[in-house]
Amino acid sequence: MTRLWRRAAVFFLAIVILSGGLAVSAASPAQAAQEVILYGDDAYPPYSYLEEGIPSGVYVQILRAAFDRLPEYSLTIRMLPWRRSLKMLEQGEAVGLFPPYRRPEERPYIGAYSVPMATESLVVYCAADVARAVSGKTFPADYAGLTFGNNAGFRVGGPAFEAMQQAGMLTVNESAGTALNLKMLLAGRVQCYINDRLAIRVTLNRLGSDGDGVMETAVIREEPAYIGWSKPALETVDWLPELTRRLDAVLEAMQVDGSIDRIIGSYGG
């Protein structure tokens, strides 16, 4: 009787252990990848833009390649007008946005910046007749009286430029995106335009222009472009700080192994 009882007890214990293991297994499936939604400028070719409704551009490719190395995260990219994206970042409705320049005083709601994805060369392009007049002269002091096109929501001319604008010494006409600004420059509706050199060249080509009628007149500075992380989101989204650290490591590795240079090169950079 005792032997039968012992056998029954062992059998019962085995059933309990097996059932418990199955329960743990059922409750702990392979963890699903954490979805990450990043927002980008929808009108900043070749870096960030929509092409037939699909997110495209240098930074889009860099981010997709980076997240391919982070399989525990699932990347979704959404493209919106720049000002709207900045407002979402400020309100914590977006965790990350690309590609802001580092402007901590102007955008205190950006709590952290990624390592740079690339460095852009900010230049001035002017209509040919204006370009001849300012050739060899100082920017922005010798550009007084001119009308500049500017991508809405961007501040790229620098403090001296902005001081001249506030003093009424030059005019800034904001439009949505690089293509529209270049169309206005080619049509003579603005006289100069400031943007990244590669962005201007690629967009002129996309517009079917060989660049006749416009000329580069000044190099303002080099600007690294980042992913800006929302300060409110960093304080409330528990997985976000770890993602920012891991993504930085991947972007640094991509710089070292040449992956980023190859992506930029595919756009003519």
Residue 252 lies in a domain: yes
- Measured between alpha carbons, how far apart are the two ends of the chain, in Å? 86
Question: Within this chain, do residues 139 and 220 fall inside the same structural domain, yes or no?
Answer: yes
pLDDT of residue 206: 87
Report pTM.
Answer: 0.73
Beta pairing class for 34-41 and 96-98: parallel
- Taking CA 173 as the corner, what is the angle to CA 172 and CA 174, rounded to the nearest 5 degrees? 115
112: β partners: 229
Same domain, 219 and 124: yes
Q: Are 70 and 246 in contact (CB under 8 A)?
A: yes
What's the total number of domains in the chain? 2
Query: Hunting for tokens 């991509």 — which residue is that?
Result: 254
Q: Are residues 216 and 131 in the same domain?
A: yes
Q: 112 and 124 share a domain?
A: no
| Range of the structural domain that residue 136 is part of | 120-224
* Same domain as 128, residue 103: no
Which pLDDT belongs to residue 31?
76
Cα(193)–Cα(185) distance, rounded to whole angstroms? 7
**126 lies in the same domain as 219:** yes
Quick check: is 21 in a domain?
no
Q: Which residues of the chain have pLDDT under 50?
A: 1-29
pLDDT at residue 24, rounded to an integer: 36
Q: Which is nearest to 200 in space by CA: 121, 146, 147?
A: 121
Separation CA 205–CA 228 (nearest Å): 29
Judgement on whether residues 162 and 234 belong to the same structural domain of the protein: no
> CB atoms < 10 A from the CB of 30, how many?
5
Residue 2 lies in a domain: no
| DSSP code at position 13 | H
Q: How far is it, in rounded angstroms, from Cα 67 to Cα 73?
A: 7
Q: What is the pLDDT of residue 30?
A: 58
| Whether residues 246 and 156 fall in one domain | no
Q: Is residue 3 part of a domain?
A: no
172 lies in some domain:
yes
pLDDT recorded at residue 7: 43
Q: Does residue 19 lie within any of the structural domains?
A: no
What count of residues does the chain have? 269
pLDDT attached to residue 155: 86
User: pLDDT (tens digit, 9 = 90+) per residue, 64-89?
Assistant: 999 999 999 999 999 999 999 999 99
249 and 208 belong to one structural domain: no
Same domain, 40 and 172: no
CATH number (domain holding residue 187): 3.40.190.10
